[in-house]
């Protein structure tokens, strides 16, 4: 049973445009959400996170939005750059945030075309 779902396996965007990656979750006990980026042959790299007490968190070109009632979060990348091409994973944890196991989605492969 997939508790964290990324329903789009891939996404293609033109350089300079907005990339929107979506994630849905089923467990209402999740209270901390993270986005990681992964290049081939490398480990996941942390991008941005959001606590369930917030509905938006912004860091440079990256913004994460959380809709708790819909159990949905999204990652916006503006403007998209070719170096953003990677697999993006949504992950969630419960009971107080970081030092708990992360439950991961299957990932979305983003291709940013020059």
Question: Which residues make up the interface to another protein (CB under 8 A)?
Answer: 4, 32, 34, 36, 41-46, 49, 51, 89, 91, 96-107
If the CB atoms of residues 15 and 62 are measured against another protein, the closer one turns out to be 62
Handedness of CA 101, 4, 41, 77 (dihedral sign): negative
Contact 66, 55 (CB under 8 A): yes
If the CB atoms of residues 61 and 100 are measured against another protein, the closer one turns out to be 100
Query: How many Cβ atoms sit within 10 Å of the Cβ of residue 46?
Result: 10
Closest approach of Cβ 96 to another protein, in Å? Answer: 6
Closest approach of Cβ 85 to another protein, in Å? Answer: 18
**Cβ-proximal residues to 40 (8 Å cutoff; 6+ apart), any chain:** none
If the CB atoms of residues 79 and 102 are measured against another protein, the closer one turns out to be 102
Closest approach of Cβ 113 to another protein, in Å? Answer: 23
If the CB atoms of residues 47 and 77 are measured against another protein, the closer one turns out to be 47
Closest CA to 110 of 84, 91, 90, 89: 84
């Amino acid at each position: 049973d997939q508790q964290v779902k990324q329903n789009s396996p891939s996404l293609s965007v033109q350089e300079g445009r907005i990339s929107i990656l979506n994630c849905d979750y089923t467990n209402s006990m999740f209270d901390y959400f993270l986005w990681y980026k992964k290049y081939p042959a490398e480990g996941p790299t942390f991008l941005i996170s959001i606590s369930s007490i917030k509905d938006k968190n912004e860091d440079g070109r990256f913004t994460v939005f959380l809709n708790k009632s819909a159990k949905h979060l999204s990652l916006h990348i503006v403007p998209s750059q070719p170096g953003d091409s990677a697999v993006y994973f949504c992950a969630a944890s419960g009971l107080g945030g970081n030092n708990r196991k992360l439950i991961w989605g299957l990932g979305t492969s983003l291709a940013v075309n020059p």
